[in-house]
């Protein structure tokens, strides 16, 4: 008998319609378990559930400290007491939570599958029950340790994503995708089928993964600020004198560039100097190797001490930075360079255990 811990967190998959509004409903989440039990009669009788609900919210309200509450609740239950975990979540921030759980539960030794739905379980056409069932089938059937996300798209394909490589859903198609463009696998007829690719970890690598750092219980008390480049970004609008972040994650344009001005208030270089002078660690998320042939703005950022994060998704970089500055097991930059749960993909995964593309 497989004992599966179900972790309910709210979201659309835990909601009901009410007079034109979508409202949270604790019974909606628990109905997923009851529906699966009904479906399981004669089909999957090898599963027993334990249910906890450490938080109840729509995912747009998810905060890093809530990741800590979820992590603490699962640890309190005890992963050694179950064969896997299914976590329900809202769709909006699913990619960020999946990444955070990937790092928090790296090396835990059991499968953890996050899932969600586009419509509440009680609404016609909802994919909530199907996604929950697919997540249970994956956890009970694959036996692969690690953190994953399971979600069915509009075409009826149920993809399995590596949690550390899940990208946010497209707002028009509602489709998720994987960093580097290769999903981890598919669920078909209740069975997991891997997507064979050199960019994906093998079953042997997943089973052999050991946690390098003991994170304890991260408090997420130190905030990480996040910026994306756009024409007209004015750094003078940002006042860190009132609330200074521990670090800043700054995205770059696809060519690993950002505006250098003039005027000075639009210059990423002036902003980098301000971070340096204020003792704020500045990280830049770039899609290319800044250490190679690059544009002047990228090279100047490195010269000013910006730390490049290359080879992982922006969602993973942000979640990982929040964890890096909420633990004391390792210096934050050392933790960021570690390939904790296969977040570094493609060429980045070939750099060696502690290397990072673009590092000087």
The string of pLDDT tens digits covering residues 291-302 is 566 788 888 998
pLDDT for residue 8 is more than 80? yes
pLDDT in tens, 170-179: 988 889 999 9
CA dihedral sign, ordered 28, 30, 32, 38: negative
Instruction: Identify the band that residue 350 occupies on the pLDDT scale cut at 50, 70 and 90.
Output: very low
Q: Is the pLDDT of residue 354 over 70?
A: no
pLDDT tens for 301-348 read: 988 999 999 999 999 999 999 999 999 888 999 999 999 999 998 643
Give the pLDDT mean for 71-85. 93
**Cβ–Cβ < 8 Å for 168, 62:** no
pLDDT given for residue 258 in this prediction: 93
Contact 152, 129 (CB under 8 A): no
Question: For residue 262, is the peptide bond before it cis, meaning its omega torsion is within 30 degrees of 0?
Answer: yes
pLDDT over 90, % of the chain: 65
Common-topology check for domains 2-208 and 224-350: yes
CATH number of 224-350: 3.40.50.40
Residue 109 confidence (pLDDT) above 90: yes
Residue 123 pLDDT class (50, 70, 90 cuts): confident
pLDDT of res. 183: 95
pLDDT (0 to 100) of residue 349: 40
Parallel, antiparallel, or unpaired for β 146-152 and 166-167? unpaired
More confident site: 128 or 74: 74
| Mean pLDDT for all residues in the chain | 88
What is the model's pLDDT at position 218? 79
Closest CA to 106 of 71, 139, 130: 71
Helix, strand, coil percentages in the chain from 3-state DSSP, rounded to 5:
35, 20, 45
What pTM value is reported for the model?
0.92
pLDDT of residue 42: 55
DSSP class of residue 57? Answer: B
pLDDT at 290: 54
* pLDDT tens digits, 262-275: 999 999 999 999 99
**Which has the closest alpha carbon to 6: 157, 198, 14?**
14
pLDDT band (50, 70, 90) for residue 205: very high
User: Are the C-beta atoms of 325 and 307 separated by less than 8 Å?
Assistant: no
Paired tokens of 7 = 């972790």
pLDDT of residue 153: 84
Quote the pLDDT of residue 21. Answer: 83
Where residue 40 falls among pLDDT bands split at 50, 70, 90? low
Q: Tell me the mean pLDDT in the region 240-263.
A: 91
pLDDT band at 359 (very low <50, low <70, confident <90, very high): very low
Of the listed ranges 237-241, 250-254, 355-359, the least confidently predicted one is: 355-359
What's the confidence (pLDDT) of residue 3? 94
The reported pLDDT for the residue numbered 346 is: 64
Residue 260 pLDDT more than 80? yes
Kindly list the domain boundaries of the chain, sorted by start residue. 2-208, 224-350
Report the topology of domain 2-208. Answer: Rossmann fold (3.40.50)
Average pLDDT over residues 205-225: 86
């Amino acid at each position: 008998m497989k004992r599966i811990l179900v972790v309910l967190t709210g979201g659309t998959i835990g909601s009901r319609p009410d007079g034109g509004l979508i409202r949270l409903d604790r019974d909606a989440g628990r109905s997923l378990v009851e529906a699966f039990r009904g479906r399981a009669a004669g089909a999957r009788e090898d599963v027993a559930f334990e249910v906890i609900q450490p938080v109840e919210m729509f995912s747009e309200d998810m905060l890093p400290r809530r990741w800590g509450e979820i992590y603490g609740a699962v640890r309190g239950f005890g992963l050694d007491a179950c064969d896997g975990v299914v976590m329900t979540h809202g769709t909006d921030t699913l990619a960020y939570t999946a990444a955070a759980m990937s790092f928090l539960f790296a090396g835990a030794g059991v499968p953890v599958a996050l899932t969600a739905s586009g419509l509440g379980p009680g609404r016609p056409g909802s994919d909530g029950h199907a996604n929950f069932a697919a997540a249970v089938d994956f956890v009970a059937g694959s036996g692969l340790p690690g953190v994953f996300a399971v979600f069915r798209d509009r075409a009826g394909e149920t993809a399995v994503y590596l949690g550390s490589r899940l990208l946010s859903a497209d707002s028009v198609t509602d489709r998720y995708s994987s960093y580097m463009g290769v999903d981890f696998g598919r669920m078909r007829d209740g069975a997991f089928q891997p997507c064979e690719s050199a960019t994906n970890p093998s079953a042997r690598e997943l089973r052999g993964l050991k946690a390098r750092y003991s994170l304890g219980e991260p408090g997420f008390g130190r905030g990480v600020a996040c910026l994306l480049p756009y024409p007209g970004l004015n750094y003078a609008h940002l006042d860190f004198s009132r609330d200074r972040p521990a670090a800043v994650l700054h995205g770059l344009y696809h060519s690993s560039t950002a505006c250098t001005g003039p005027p000075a208030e639009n210059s990423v270089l002036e902003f980098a100097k301000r971070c340096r002078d204020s003792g704020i660690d500045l990280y830049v998320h770039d899609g290319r190797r800044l250490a190679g042939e690059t544009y002047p703005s990228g090279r100047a950022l490195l010269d000013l001490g910006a730390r490049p994060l290359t080879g992982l998704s922006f969602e993973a970089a942000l979640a990982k930075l929040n964890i890096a500055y909420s633990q004391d097991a390792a210096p934050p930059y050392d933790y960021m360079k570690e390939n904790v749960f296969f977040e570094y993909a493609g060429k980045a995964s070939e750099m060696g255990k502690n290397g990072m593309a673009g590092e000087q």
